[in-house]
Amino acid sequence: MRFYNFGDSRNTHLLLIPDNAQHYSIFERGIKDLIPDFYITICSFDGFDETIKETFVSHEKEMEQIEAYINEHDEGHLSCAYGLGHGGEVLCSLLERSHITIDKCIIDSAYFEYLSTPYAMMQASAATMFFYPLIKEKTISRGVMHFLTHEQKENPEFISRWQQHYLSHNLDFIKKRSLFNQFSSSYQLKHKKNLLIPNTAVHVFFSMKMGARYLRRYQYFFANAIYHYFNMSAQELLITKPDQWALELYSIFKGRI
């Protein structure tokens, strides 16, 4: 794992964790308004960074590296953290492990789809078939085309930005094994019911177009989360409205809530 830092190290330290199959640059449009007030660290996973030769092995290994980084640079205590998609599940697991402490965190568009090993392997294979042609060869698989066709009618800006992220970067260094391992590892992240971490405020960015079943999952896992509702698709706030995304993070991490 590599850590990219932006801003003045004397400012409030903010850790950002991307979703599966994402390059760390997914945050580049959003952080420009946060840099004056935060010291920002973006995690870049093994296998998904052009400067790292290692293949992605597991989220367990990645979390160990995050914990080692926070212990070294922040004495084990982090002011604030944000996880996008499966990155939100990694953040949740970091809280459960209790090797580091975090004052405030935001979980955005996480899925919490725990599966037994056989089903996790099957789902990871499907996800790999979905993403690999897109990021490796800049071609759109049938699965991706189905997703785009369905979503394009409702939110063309979101789909345009989503495609731009994958098509505008040279990601041909990503190996199929890294994709498979990352997704299979995510589907096997198991979380506790009614998670309550002392002295940690958990905020949830809930994209209402994800549907009620995902809201029930959040309510199952988090005992006292603070919910922020957006009439959007998963990850749409960051991808289409990075200025508003930055403002929401600022109000939470610099505010009293």
**pLDDT score for 155:** 66
Burial class (CB within 10 angstroms; exposed 0-12, middle 13-18, buried 19+) of 228: middle
> What is the pLDDT of the chain when averaged over all its residues?
89
Burial class (CB within 10 angstroms; exposed 0-12, middle 13-18, buried 19+) of 149: exposed
* C-alpha atoms less than 13 angstroms from C-alpha of 223 in its C-beta half-sphere: 8
Helices (H), 116-170: 117-137, 142-152, 156-167
How high is the mean pLDDT in each 10-residue block of the chain (257 residues)? 97 97 93 97 96 95 98 97 96 94 96 92 92 73 57 63 67 92 95 85 94 91 92 90 96 84
Residue-wise pLDDT for 18-62, tens only, equals: 999 999 999 999 999 999 999 999 999 999 999 999 999 999 999
> Please, what is the end-to-end C-alpha distance for the chain in angstroms?
32
**pLDDT score for 233:** 87
Conformation bin of residue 82: beta by default, left when phi > 0, alpha when psi is -120 to 50: beta
**pLDDT score for 215:** 92
Tokens of 85: 């998609």
What sign does the dihedral 211-212-217-221 (CA atoms) show? positive
